Amino acid sequence: MKQGKTLSDIEHNRETILINDPDIDQAGDDHIFTGFATPLRQDAFKLSDAEKISTIAFHFREIMQILGLDLADDSLQGTPLRVAKMYVKEIFSGLNPVNKPDVALFENKYKYDQMLIEKNITLFSNCEHHFVPIYGKAHVAYIANAHVIGLSKLNRIVQYFAKRPQVQERLTVQIGRELQKILGTKDVAVLIDANHMCVSTRGITDTGSSTVTSFYEGRFLNEETKSEFLNYAGI
């Protein structure tokens, strides 16, 4: 008589499917993403930050235990809570719209109508496929019309969208579209040159390459204007 599967059998089969599923690795290695909006559930903000930190700490403790680490060790016992706080309050804080920077616009009293560039903005993000760092530089530019934006706000906008699990193409477009929305102009350019630790520390383990993505709209579609931007950015 054939016996039914035990819980152990079911768990073993589930793990085998997950570990050996080629589509999972292929999606990450091929840099697949689904669109320019960050994929969030409708109940993404149901839990408070404190509740998220508590829950993440519990589950990260489980991960560490599964890996065989001794959480009684003085160096490790606080790690689950530290990681949880880091996720919610720091490296993934851009998921929560309450952390979106307040941006004040100023009248363009000098009637400045040339290109303004903020280059070499330090960028730290995390790959959504493997949750390892992406780091590099962002260069952003716009051609002002009636209003201008405080220079530090350009940096803050980059950092806000970077502080979430990301794909570099999405990050580039999110920054560009946000600047267009704030400034009320199509004349925006964004270029990101970044290193991906999912490339340098796993898989192909290539430490010498970087990824460049760009966003050009409005007058930046003009080759002369685009070339001027790239020249100033040092690309």
β-pairing, 211-216 vs 188-196, is antiparallel
Q: Is residue 128 among the annotated active site residues?
A: yes
Q: Which two tokens stand for residue 111?
A: 């009637």
Which residue among 118, 127, 139, 178 is the active-site one?
A: 127
Which residue among 159, 166, 168, 174 is the active-site one?
A: 168
Q: Is residue 139 among the annotated active site residues?
A: no
Which residue among 31, 130, 180, 217 is the active-site one?
A: 130
Q: Is residue 198 among the annotated active site residues?
A: yes
- Residue given tokens 């962002």 in the structure block: 138
Which residue among 128, 169, 217, 228 is the active-site one?
A: 128
CA distances from 157 to 51, 79, 204, 225 (A): 27, 30, 32, 23
Q: Is residue 168 among the annotated active site residues?
A: yes
Cα–Cα dist 37/17, whole Å: 30
Which residue among 118, 139, 159, 198 is the active-site one?
A: 198
Q: Is residue 169 among the annotated active site residues?
A: no
Q: Which residues are catalytic?
A: 127-130, 168, 196, 198
